[in-house]
Structure 1
Amino acid sequence: MKKSPPARMSLARGLYSGLLCLLTPWAQRRLAKEKVNAFSAYQRRGEVSPSERSVIWAHCASVGEVLAAEPFLKALLLRYPRHQLVVTTMTATGAAQVRARLPDARHYLLPLDLPWYAERFIDTLQPEAGVVFETELWPNLLASCRRRRIPLLLANARLSASAMRGYRKIRPLVKEALSAFSLITAKAEEDAARLLALGAEKDRLQVTGSIKYDLQLPEDLPAQASAWRAALGERRVWIAASTHQGEDQPLLAAHQQLLAQDPSCLLLLVPRHPQRFDQVAELIAQQGLSYLRRSSQQPVTPETQVYLVDTLGELLFFYAVADLAVVAGSFADIGGHNLLEPAAVGTPVISGPVLHNFAEIAAALTEVDGRVEVDSASALPAVLAGFWADPAACQRQAEAARQVVLANQGALARQLEAFAHLLPPETSAERETLSPCS
């Protein structure tokens, strides 16, 4: 690995590193909650095992990024079989998804972004190339890669207007971090414009679309969802997905109103974070609702009013089970969550008004009447009842949203092509000589 001589740390990165040093005790306590195994604390210090093979490093912040990046990462495993794919995440939930969905990859928790931890991590890993998904900018880690001339791709890059306002305040630090990337593939023109305003170099920036449109649905998903749904009989089923603190109670109140109209109605409630599963279960009980937890593995009964999905990696399945999908994170100041997953499986999409993290996708769906937006959860009973009363309108919206997904696919291929400029795929001859034990 080529290594440039030690460079003087910029003032911006020096101030950032100093502040991070002061915050380290707090950060370590916070990160301790994301423990994966006995080695988690070591990994947060950049202490990882070297690989006998050349490494491709990929970083995904958490569950959402892992799920979106999964097709890209699986393609890397096929295109570069002689390399070891190493995937890092910030969270334990992200780690669980990497291990479940990418068994041929090696996983580590990302180290705390102190200069000496970053240096240790990169020196040990020695990646030949890397890809960072969305907009995970860790200045010291990226500086370590730049110093070693490691080609990096910032893939599926997005930058909301609210995030832009925050980044403007630390523009010198952000500009330095962006300079570490050999290529940046932005999701939309708006994202590209914001990245340019923060100092990204125009000749390194491409607009490729979002790989979130390139959802690869499991072949057996429709059959499995239909079988699970058939066991429920003729019940009306809706899902409130990826809920955050403060959203569950008004959504449960909306369900109470629906139950007053139709006592057989069933809510699939999916909290965003595992640490809230027990809290949400207590909240359901306090509302006097009969509920069942997914983790219990018990079948839904006619008496079950709320089905609490307290497992990971099954959201797409339950979107396919439901008649109607309410995507949460949009009723609180979160910015929304992925609207494309219910659209891809043909379930009508409903959201709250706070969608700044998915503004481009929300606009694309709204333009074709592929999404309904409500001002608050209190408006949901009327909207849901209206859909159930008009199956034709329900089907039209679902199909319009699904067509948006299909029309915008192709970003995955474009972003893989961008990565190939950094590290050419292995030739067929190289693949044929790969030992089964290597």
Structure 2
Amino acid sequence: MRWLYYLGIRLYVWGIRLAALWMPKARLWIQGRRMQQRLMDDWQLPQNRRRIWMHCASAGEYEQGRPVLEAIRKLCPDAFLIVSFFSPSGYEARKSDTLPDLKVYLPADLPGMAQAFLHKLRPHLALFVKYEFWYGYIHALQQQKIPCILISARFEHRSFFFRFYRPFFIRLLKGFTRIFVQDEASAQWLLEQGIRQADVSGDTRFDRVLQIAAQWQPDQVVERFLQGRKVIVAGSTWPEDEQLWIDCVRQMDLGCPMIIVPHEIRDKHIGQLLSSWPGKGIRYSELAARQEQNMDSFDLLVVDRMGLLARIYAYGWLAYVGGGFGAGIHNILEAAVYGIPVMFGPRYRSFREARDLVRLGAAFSVQDKHAMAQLLDHLKRTNLAAMGTIAGNYVKTQAGATGKIVNYLAENRFLTMA
């Protein structure tokens, strides 16, 4: 099975190289790793500090792992924190973050490359976030007797990989020193596979969104746009989500302006969104540069800067989270933490927090523009404050995963020099 795994990795890399001819994101994937390969010899890695490496797929997983890194920093101020990313969007979005001492791309998991990367880093502890199962790296860590911890994991027995490649992935999972899972169902599934080194910690995303909410600061550009008006905030939207809102606005009066924060901020796409909008819209960057004070005629603000969404949700009386018409919804907890109801598309059932909030009556799924219009009309006549309170309390009751993970690391002396 290993040869098939490595063949799949090679085919993926070849596919990325081919796509780089016309796709900027794929080009960045290749260029970032090539540049890193040339600079690896210049990395200054201290030998007298505990080197702790966390790997994240992209920006979302980094946000999930960040509370653990912050807690490690507090317990072990001298630790040298290294964060690697698989996705260029994750690296680019977080390359200015000052918490890690070193941010890098993860080289492709091919024979020799994983060993060379680990030989350069020489980590004392490795942390993988959520679904990052890289056989070559995990096997090399196991061979070198470096503790390897998987955090905020969740396992679905119907998953494609576990249905068709179960023996291989079970061996891979057994290579982790400890696995911290989000729920009892995941722990039970692991136990049935003979994997006993698992603990139910919960999901560190709850801790992260509570941190962000506690550190919230007003956004002067958003406040100048709103001028006291209530607003619907649609975050991490894809074209399908945006078209849903365009069709809905053509069909009905929302009674308030909107803020849309696209998942991918591309100038051409934002221009198309603004030109298709039935009302009058403006870019965040344009408003920031203008002195105009009267915004009553504008009913749409499109945010074209990264890193603002988590705090912009706080302004909403209602939130919509994108992705539900594609692979799956994005992080609804970033909105729910502020005590507001959440809407999303139909593909949400793989996300426990979405299922929970729907069951509690604080979140809603819509299939099309007609369902959206009916739901909005209903919500206008409903006690949204009560729904929002349910959402906010739900987030608070799920917190605490970070403490469980870091306590384990401290108790087993994974955070101190030998």
2:45 and 2:19 map into 1 onto residues whose CA distance is: 29
Letter matched to residue 406 of structure 2: L
> Does structure 2 conserve the Cα–Cα contact (< 8 Å) formed by 1:153 and 1:419?
no
Helix, strand or coil: the match of 1:302?
A: coil
**CA deviation profile, 1:332-368 (whole Å, cap 9, x unmatched):** 142222222211112221222211331x212322333
2:285 corresponds to: 295
Corresponding residue number in structure 1 for 2:364: 372
Change in 2 beyond 3 A, CA 1:422/1:176? farther
Cα distance, 1:377–1:56 mapped onto 2, change above 3 Å: farther
What is residue 123 of structure 1 aligned with on the other side?
119
Which range moves more in the overlay, 68-77 or 149-158? 68-77
After TM superposition, the structure 1 stretch with the greater mean CA deviation from structure 2, 318-327 or 233-242, is 233-242
- Amino acid of the structure 2 residue aligned with 1:145: L
8 Å Cα contact 2:221/2:284 also seen in 1: no
1:142–1:180 CA contact under 8 A, matched in 2: yes
Question: Structure 1 residues 220 and 131, CA, compared in 2 at 3 Å: closer, same or farther?
Answer: closer
Aligned counterparts of 2:258 and 2:111: Cα–Cα separation in 1:
47
Q: Judging changes above 3 Å, is the alpha-carbon distance between structure 1 residues 305 and 249 closer, same or farther for their aligned structure 2 residues? A: same
Gaps of 5+ in 1: 1-11, 431-438
Distance 1:78 1:364, change over 3 A: same
Deviations 1:104-129 (A, max 9, x none): 42100111111121111011111000
Rounded to whole Å, the distance in 1 between the matches of 2:221 and 2:301 is: 17
Counterpart of 2:261 in structure 1 is: 270
SS in 2 for 1:239: strand
The amino acid across from 1:185 in the alignment is F
Give the Cα–Cα distance (whole angstroms) in 2 for the partners of residues 186 and 224 of structure 1: 35
1:174 matched to which residue of 2?
169
The alignment partner of 1:357 has SS state of coil
Is 1:192 matched up with 2:156? Answer: no
Calculate the TM-score normalised by the size of structure 2: 0.87
Distance 1:269 1:39, change over 3 A: closer
Check 1:160–1:355 CA distance in 2 against 1; reply closer, same or farther (3 A cut). Answer: farther
Structure 2 contact 64–129 (Cα < 8 Å) conserved: no
1:238 deviates by 0.7
Q: Deviations over 1:226-248 (max 9, x none)?
A: 99447523534112211224332
Give the letter for the 1:324 counterpart. Answer: L
Where does the alignment leave 5 or more consecutive residues of structure 2 unmatched? none
Residues 169 and 121 of structure 1, relative CA distance in 2, 3 Å threshold? same
User: Could you tell me how far apart the structure 1 residues matched to 2:35 and 2:110 are?
Assistant: 14
Q: Is the counterpart of residue 247 in structure 1 residue 241 in structure 2? A: yes
For residues 123-272 of structure 1, the aligned pairs below 5 Å read 123-160=119-156, 164-196=159-191, 199=193, 201-202=195-196, 204-214=197-207, 215=209, 216-219=211-214, 221=216, 224=218, 228-229=222-223, 232-259=226-253, 262=255, 265-272=256-263
Decide which moves more: 129-138 or 171-180. 171-180
The offset of 1:191, in angstroms, is 2.4
Letter in 2 for 1:403: N
C-alpha distance in 2 between matches for 1:369 and 1:380: 16
1:94 to 90, 97, 103: 90
SS at 1:112 equivalent: coil
Q: Deviations over 1:139-186 (max 9, x none)?
A: 112112111111011000023455x23332112331232122100000
**What displacement does 1:209 show?**
1.0
Q: CA deviation at 1:384?
A: 2.5
Contact 1:178 1:200 in 2 (8 A): no
Change beyond 3 A, Cα 1:287–1:232: closer
1:70 matched to 2:72: no
Would the alpha carbon gap of residues 218 and 421 (structure 1) be closer, same or farther in structure 2, given more than 3 Å must change?
Answer: same
The answer to whether structure 1 residue 351 and structure 2 residue 341 are counterparts is no
Q: Are residues 212 and 137 of structure 1, via their aligned partners in 2, closer, same or farther at CA, if it must alter by over 3 Å? A: same
* Contact kept in structure 2, 1:43 and 1:111, CA below 8 Å: no
How far apart in 2 are the matches of 1:174 and 1:45?
33
CA contact (8 A) 1:44 1:109 kept: no
Query: 1 CA distance for matches of 2:186 and 2:239?
Result: 28
Deviation string, structure 1 residues 270-312 (Cα, Å, up to 9, x no partner): 22233x5532431331345432222332468223232112222
Indicate if the aligned counterparts of 1:344 and 1:401 stay in contact, CA closer than 8 A.
yes
SS at match of 1:395: helix
Tell me which amino acid in the other structure corresponds to 1:312: M
CA contact (8 A) 1:111 1:118 kept: yes
Cα distance in structure 2, aligned partners of 1:386 and 1:229: 27
> Does the CA contact (< 8 Å) of 2:17 and 2:30 recur in 1?
no
**Contact 2:33–2:105 (Cα < 8 Å) also in 1:** yes
1:407 aligned onto 2:397? yes
Of 328, 333, 337, which residue of structure 2 is paired with 1:340? 333
Do 2:341 and 2:391's aligned partners in 1 also have CA atoms closer than 8 Å?
yes
Could you tell me whether the CA contact under 8 Å between 2:32 and 2:105 is conserved in 1?
A: no
The residue aligned with 1:8 is none
Q: Using the alignment, how far apart are the partners of 1:236 and 1:403 within structure 2?
A: 22
Alpha-carbon contact 1:225-1:320 (below 8 Å) kept: no
Instruction: Report the alpha carbon displacement of residue 225 of structure 1 after superposing the two structures with TM.
Output: 5.4
- Distance of aligned partners of 1:149 and 1:42 in 2 relative to their CA distance in 1, 3 Å threshold: farther
Q: CA deviation at 1:96?
A: 3.6
The 1-side partners of 2:133 and 2:289 are apart by 43
Q: State the SS of the aligned residue for 1:356.
A: coil
The SS at the match of 1:313 is coil
Partner SS, residue 362 of structure 2: coil
